[in-house]
Amino acid sequence: MRTQVGIVGAGPAGLMLSHLLHLEGIDSVILENRSRDYIESRIRAGLIEQWANDLLIDTGVGARMQREGMFHNGVYFGFGRALHYLNFRDLIGKGVTIYGQQEIVKDLIHRRLSDSGQILFEAADVSVHDLAGNPSIRFRHDGKEGEVVCDFIGGCDGFHGICRPSIPAAVLTAYDREYPFGWVGILSESPPPEHELIYAYHERGFALYTMRSSTLARLYLQCAPDDEIENWPDARIWEELHARLDGTRALAEGMMLQRGITAMRSFVVEPMQYGRLFLAGDSAHIQPPTGAKGMNLALADVKVLSRALVAFYRSGRSDLLEQYSATCLRRVWKAQRFSWWMTQLFHLDPSHNSFDRKRQMAELDYVTSSEAAMRSVAENYVGLPVEG
């Protein structure tokens, strides 16, 4: 099989890359090792930055999000038994949208298939070859060996994928940080405590109260990094969620539809390209979820990559492709910085002492009372501009 761009992974990065290329008349094939059903029901991110919301709408895949998503003007920071509202719309004229990542994945798959796009689900033993020469992707599908020969490869296969490890190790530098906590996350059939998000700082640990609809709450609690979900029976989860909301709002309990533990890590690999392989999204960088940046960064990377590929095919320019990694990394590092900052601001760190907790309270007080500080939070939270 021959195509212009071979893509490994049908997450937000791979699907959006294929969609953006198609709109510009560039062919691609996606190899995904999971089933369609599996990736359409995998619950992950839920918060979409303003520019990413606009991208989905402008490229014709935002209609269901516009109908079913929830547009938010700001967020609440809870501490000291009170909620403090940051109104992004008043501060900088932008907001964010709540719409599940798996819904974006469904919308993109539906659109790719309606546009006769090729996605091979359940492709096994996917491997990438001759990255600095004539690249190809080999795999097994329906019990048969297959090969996609292409001009370029999009490495969109997430943090545990095969693309990043296929780059010679000597070429890459990894920047890594682990955090001494994780998150318990649940989806509950109950209304969220507020119609917008609450990030809560509490002496028992951080909690986040978000949602998927007005009747479906998505709730997270700081836990130990090596914690197991078996340690969190329903009663304990509800007790902590009530305690960390600290009487600021009433919390209705509901049936738990899903539960899981998320690890916290910051990781960036540089450069994000090697030869004709371009890494995008979680395959190149991950961050703690506190800043809600992962899916948004994946979309930003492929926006930059698609523009560089369009310039190559339209006018033979390779300068944008050469600059791909540097262009993405400037924004990636700012998102890393913001995710780290939100994480250290809200979590109880076992290495902290009473000085650190006073400092955190002072910073929370500052970022919810100084207009300059609130504007800075707002512009990072709703998403910095995507270059290129």
Catalytic residue numbers, as ranges: 72, 199, 289, 293, 381
Least Å distance, CB 62 to ligand DHB, is: 18
The pair of three-digit structure tokens given for residue 91, joined into one six-digit string: 């501060």
Smaller CB distance to ligand FAD: residue 94 or 246?
A: 94
Contacts of 280 (CB under 8 A, 6+ apart): 13, 14, 17, 154, 155, 156, 272, 298, 301, 302, 305, 328
Q: How far is the CB of 71 from ligand DHB (least distance, A)?
A: 14
DSSP-derived letter for residue 85 is E
**Cβ-based neighbours of 172, under 8 Å, separated by 6 or more:** 164, 269, 270, 271, 274
* Residue 39 engages ligand FAD in binding (rule: CB under 6 A): yes
- Closer residue to ligand FAD, CB minimum distance, 156 or 329: 156
The C-alpha atoms of residue 120 and residue 117 are separated, in whole angstroms, by 10
Of the pair 46, 146, the CB lying nearest ligand DHB is at 46
The residues binding ligand DHB (CB under 6 A) are 45-47, 98, 197, 210, 218, 289-290, 292
Q: Which is nearer to ligand DHB, 151 or 227 (CB)?
A: 227
CA distances from 15 to 28, 105, 155, 386 (A): 10, 7, 12, 18
Shortest distance (Å) from residue 249 CB to ligand DHB: 17
- Name the binder of 194 from ligand DHB, ligand FAD, none, CB < 5-8 A by kind: none
C-beta closer to ligand FAD: residue 156 or 309: 156
- Which residue shows structure tokens 């979680």? 282
Q: Does 126 bind ligand FAD (CB under 6 A)?
A: yes
**Given the complex with ligand FAD, which of 56 and 295 has the nearer CB atom?**
295
Q: Which of 5, 13, 128, 153 binds ligand FAD (CB under 6 A)?
A: 13
Closest CA to 291 of 249, 252, 336, 327: 336
For 226, other C-beta atoms within 10 Å of its C-beta total 9
Least separation, in Å, of the C-beta of 248 and ligand DHB?
18
Selected from 21, 47, 268, 364, the binder of ligand FAD by CB under 6 A is 47
Give residues 173-192 in contact with ligand FAD (rule: CB under 6 A): 185
Axis crossing angle, helix 324-346 with helix 354-367, rounded to the nearest 10: 110
Minimum distance from residue 120 beta carbon to ligand FAD (Å): 9
The residue count for the chain:
388
Q: 33 touches which of ligand DHB, ligand FAD, none (CB within 5 to 8 A by kind)?
A: ligand FAD
Smallest gap, in angstroms, from Cβ of residue 261 to ligand FAD?
Answer: 9
Shortest Å distance, C-beta 210 to ligand DHB: 4
Three-state DSSP at 78 gives strand
Q: Can residue 194 be called a binding residue for ligand FAD (CB under 6 A)? A: no
Which residues have CB under 8 Å from 6's CB, separation 6+? Answer: 28, 29, 31, 135, 136, 137, 148, 150, 152, 153, 154
Per rule CB under 6 A, is residue 273 in the interface with ligand FAD? no
> Whole-angstrom Cα distance, residue 340 to residue 167?
27
Q: In the complex with ligand FAD, which residue's Cβ is closer, 21 or 45? A: 45
User: Counting beta carbons within 10 angstroms of the beta carbon of residue 35, is it exposed (0 to 12), middle (13 to 18) or buried (19 or more)?
Assistant: exposed
Between residue 298 and residue 327, which ones bind ligand FAD under the rule CB under 6 A?
A: 298
DSSP SS3 for 302:
helix
CA distance 152 to 274: 11
Question: Using the rule CB under 6 A, is 265 a contact of ligand FAD?
Answer: no
Instruction: Give the interface with ligand FAD as residue ranges (CB under 6 A).
Output: 8-14, 31-34, 39, 44-47, 101, 123, 126, 156-158, 161-162, 185, 262, 281-282, 289, 292-296, 298
